[in-house]
Amino acid sequence: MNNSVMSVTAETSQDPMGLDTPLAPSLGAISSVSSMASWSAALFLTTFHILLGTSTSVPDEVDGRSIFYKHHDAKFYQSGAFVIGRLVSTIPQRAIEITAFGIPLYFLVGLARTAQAFFTYLALLVCYTIGLKMMFGILAQILPKKANVQGVSTFLVLICTLFGGFVVVPNAIPFYYKTWIYWMNPMTWAMQGLLSNEYNSAKYENLKIPPESFLTYRGFKPGREWVGYSFAYMIPFTLICALILTIVLRNVRIEPERAIKKKKKVAVGEVS
């Protein structure tokens, strides 16, 4: 273990989870690992907020199934056209939401103020959000009730959070989980891309402890090329989820439950 990693170990022993308040770094100098840990916590809270918000909005899509069935039976469009249209129409709305949420957080927290880092940050969040929307959308089409959708969504939120690289650092995840759950988790790639984008900016060039050592200690990959790898995962992930959603819409049909009113029998001479 080199000196920089040993320094990281000494610093993070005071705050092993990196759960300092995210606003603290913007108020002082960035000379300690605790500051970098706080920025990492801010980025984690960003990805978690998006994950939680997307999961809670999915049960409402159950109500829209009957509309799709009606249009599909009338031959308005095929399942693939519906999914493509939904994917394309989602982009502007998600971009506006991420911009409204991401810009205040970015500058309040005090992340790297360069155009490249800023727009890469927004692009990563947009890709991440659209991918989650497609993934959770599959649940709304294969589960019968809103309660079922909410329950499975909550379980996926738990899995994504635990194996996202922050709550449990990648170095502590068992090998038999890391080989598939960790690397298949969209939150993992969002965190990796955001951290690589932030800590490879010019803001951190003169630190006493290189940010690469901090990322390595936390179990993340230090190179900036991992920003590209994050896009290379999340874009195909979104397309694969869209393909699965198309197949599900074509082959799975869950009719809504309709209330059956029982007619009351009225005897002759009685007033109903």
pTM of this structure: 0.79
Provide the residue-wise pLDDT of the chain in tens; the chain has 272 residues.
454 444 444 444 444 444 443 444 443 334 456 777 788 888 999 999 999 988 888 888 888 888 888 888 888 888 888 888 888 888 888 888 888 888 888 888 888 888 899 999 999 999 999 999 999 999 988 988 888 998 999 999 999 999 988 888 888 888 888 888 899 999 999 999 999 998 888 777 777 777 888 888 888 888 889 999 999 999 999 999 999 999 998 888 887 665 444 555 555 555 55
Residue 177's SS3 state is helix
How far is Cα 180 from Cα 185, in angstroms, rounded to an integer? 8
- Closest listed residue to residue 54, CA positions, set 138, 170, 180, 169: 138
How far is Cα 223 from Cα 49, in angstroms, rounded to an integer? 26
